[in-house]
């Protein structure tokens, strides 16, 4: 029997399978599994309400997999870990690396300080390509996805799945009370999370259920189907990947092995989307200010508007534009929003409403179960035009034409905006322009049963283009 005792510090890797740090800890001997809720170091980007609910459920699942032997603490690891190491006669501590700026800074200091107390090691348990391994010939980071991706797949990392049998893990007893996870106070006081539970199964087992469902129902029509929000063709794996309930290795390799069930081009397109997730982390690592600052500095001069009442209407799904409202209500009811719709509601906020992209990023951060600092920051800067490989300034999504194209029968709209079920065709997608007799026949009075459109799309598009033109001109000092 080994006399080593290793802390397996779980972070965004809440799984047993394909967990390099856990495999290393188990090979060393007795392990003490630990999770620390760190609300100190993230600053303003500590987890939002939806993510905290998911974390509560995921920790409960992990704790069950570990025979109720997971330790949980709350606070600054820099203060908690030295005390914990001394109290439990720890000889080693291992973890899987994080890539958010606050995680990088925290972990560098921790590694230095803890190495005086015990052996310390970290691993890659979250990325296909770690951010420092994929640079241009001159050693600088890519800012455009396509060359980044082409270079990545030329030199793919070694993708081997490391599995651990739960019965083979030698785990220390945990003396914390049975309600230890409840003591983290992760469940929000407003009970809206109860609706989230109807749509998700957090935890490692739930991740594999969702992966299997996607392989069976979505992968074969992924490239085209992923644009239609009423179809069941997107993976919905993003929250599971964010919390590390499944590794990107596992998802990548599972998709790669489906050539008998899905065309190769569909598999490649899905893998390309996994690489977009990687690219977001890559950008965050190399440009750590993007959660709060424009990557392209000329956007610092952009004439954003502040209109709290309009922002509240957007948040509530009361804009008078059915596809926008459906997306915002899906977000509130499920903690998720279809990717095509995310682009449309984002464009509406920053281009038609001229609200700062940070207003959208912060709302998504609180409401999304897959709230991810890298993807959220890169995605909103893409929509605004201020980020890497961004949507061009002149691309303003028209929610009417987008809904006609991608939700022609209105299945998605009617699901989340049920007051419009009596409408069809163009009237459903643009009720503010529908004849009064049609609205009356559907039992709809504008601004009573459903809001009138809060803005004019043509006028606000022109206003947005004029605003973008001001920052493309040289600044006169």
Write down all domains in the chain, each with its CATH number in brackets.
5-125 (3.40.50.620), 127-160+206-286 (1.25.40.80), 297-472 (1.10.579.10)
Q: 392 pLDDT band (50/70/90 cuts)? A: confident
Residue 71 among the catalytic residues: no
**Annotation marks residue 276 as catalytic:** yes
Look at residue 463 in the predicted model and tell me its pLDDT: 97
Q: Which of 96-105, 349-358, 389-398, 402-411 has the lowest mean pLDDT?
A: 389-398
Measured CA to CA, the distance from residue 292 to residue 288 in angstroms comes to: 9
| 102 is known as an active-site residue | no
218-227 — which CB contacts under 8 Å span 24+ positions? 219/255, 219/258, 219/261, 219/262, 219/266, 219/267, 219/270, 220/261, 220/262, 220/263, 220/266, 221/266, 222/262, 222/266, 222/269, 222/270, 223/265, 223/266, 223/269, 226/273, 226/339, 226/340, 227/340, 227/406
Given 151, 221, 268, 276, the catalytic residue: 276
Q: Decide the pairing of beta strands 92-96 and 5-10.
A: parallel
Least confident interval from 9-23, 46-60, 130-144, 159-173: 159-173
As given in the structure block, the two tokens for residue 205 are 């087992």
Taking only the tens place, the pLDDT of each residue in 53-71 is 999 999 999 999 999 999 9
Q: For position 15, what pLDDT does the model report?
A: 98
Determine which one of 45, 365, 380, 382 is catalytic: 380
The answer for residues whose C-beta is within 8 angstroms of residue 218's C-beta and 6 or more apart is 225, 226, 232, 233, 234, 235
Position 393 scores a pLDDT of 77
Nearest 5°: the CA angle 72, 76, 79 is: 100
The arithmetic mean of pLDDT across residues 30-46, rounded, is 97
Query: Does residue 9 carry a catalytic annotation?
Result: no
Is residue 475 pLDDT above 50, yes or no? no
Reading the block at residue 118, the tokens are: 């015990």
Reported as a single tens digit per residue, the pLDDT across 285-342 is 999 999 999 999 999 999 999 999 999 999 999 999 999 999 999 999 999 999 999 9
Among residues 130, 221, 268, 304, the one annotated as catalytic is: 304
pLDDT 10s digits, 359-386: 999 999 999 999 999 999 999 999 999 9
Q: Helices 322-334 and 399-406, interaxial angle, to 10°?
A: 70
Q: Which of 30, 130, 273, 318 is catalytic?
A: 273
Residue with tokens 């606070």, as numbered in its chain? 75
Active site residue 294: no
Rounded to 5 degrees, what are φ and ψ at 7?
A: -80, 120
CA distance 115 to 414: 58
Secondary structure (3-state) at 71: strand
Q: What pLDDT sits at residue 2? A: 56
Which of the following is catalytic: 124, 151, 339, 419?
A: 339
Whether 273 is catalytic: yes
Q: How confident is the model at residue 157 (pLDDT cuts 50, 70, 90)?
A: low
The catalytic position among 9, 357, 365, 382 is 357
Distances (CA, A) of 406 to 227, 272, 330, 340: 7, 22, 16, 9
């Amino acid at each position: 029997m080994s006399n080593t005792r290793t802390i397996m510090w779980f972070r965004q890797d809440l799984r047993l399978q394909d967990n390099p740090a856990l495999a290393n800890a188990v090979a060393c001997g007795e392990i003490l599994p630990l999770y620390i809720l760190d609300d100190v170091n993230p600053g303003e980007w500590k987890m939002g309400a939806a993510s905290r609910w998911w974390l509560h459920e995921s920790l409960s699942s992990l704790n069950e997999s570990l025979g109720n032997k997971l330790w949980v603490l709350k606070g600054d690891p820099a203060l908690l870990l030295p005390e914990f190491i001394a109290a439990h006669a720890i000889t080693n501590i291992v973890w899987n690396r994080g890539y958010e700026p606050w995680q990088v800074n925290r972990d560098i200091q921790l590694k230095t300080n803890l190495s005086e107390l015990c052996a310390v090691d970290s691993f890659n348990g979250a990325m296909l390509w770690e951010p420092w391994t994929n640079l241009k010939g001159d050693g600088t980071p890519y800012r455009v996805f396509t060359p980044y991706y082409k270079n990545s797949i030329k030199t793919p990392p070694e993708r081997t799945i490391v599995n651990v049998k739960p019965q083979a893990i030698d785990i220390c007893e945990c003396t914390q009370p049975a309600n230890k996870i409840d003591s983290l106070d992760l469940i929000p006081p407003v009970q809206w999370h109860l609706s989230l539970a109807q749509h998700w199964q957090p935890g490692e087992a739930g991740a594999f259920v969702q992966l299997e469902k996607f392989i069976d129902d979505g992968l074969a029509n992924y490239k085209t189907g992923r644009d239609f929000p009423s179809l069941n063709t997107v993976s919905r794996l993003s929250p599971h990947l964010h919390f590390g309930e499944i590794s990107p290795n596992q998802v990548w390799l599972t998709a790669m092995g489906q050539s008998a069930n899905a065309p190769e081009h569909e598999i490649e397109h899905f893998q390309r989307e996994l690489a977009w997730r990687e690219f977001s982390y890559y950008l965050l690592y190399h440009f750590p200010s993007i959660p709060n600052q424009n990557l392209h500095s000329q956007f610092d001069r952009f004439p954003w508007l502040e209109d709290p009442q309009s922002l509240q209407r957007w948040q509530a799904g009361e804009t008078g534009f059915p596809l926008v409202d459906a997306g915002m209500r899906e977000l509130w009811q499920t903690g998720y929003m279809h990717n095509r719709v995310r682009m449309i509601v984002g464009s509406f906020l920053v281009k038609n409403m001229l609200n700062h992209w940070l207003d959208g990023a912060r709302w998504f951060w609180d409401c999304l179960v897959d709230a991810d600092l890298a993807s959220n920051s890169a995605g909103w800067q893409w929509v605004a035009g201020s980020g890497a490989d961004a949507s061009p300034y002149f691309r303003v999504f028209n929610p009417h034409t987008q809904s006609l194209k991608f939700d022609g029968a209105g299945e998605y709209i009617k699901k989340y905006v049920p007051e419009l079920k009596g409408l069809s065709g163009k009237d459903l997608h643009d009720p503010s322009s529908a004849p009064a007799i049609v609205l009356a026949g559907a039992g709809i009075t504008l601004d009573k049963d459903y809001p009138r459109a809060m803005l004019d799309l043509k006028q606000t598009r022109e206003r947005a283009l004029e605003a973008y033109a001001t920052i493309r001109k040289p600044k006169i000092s």
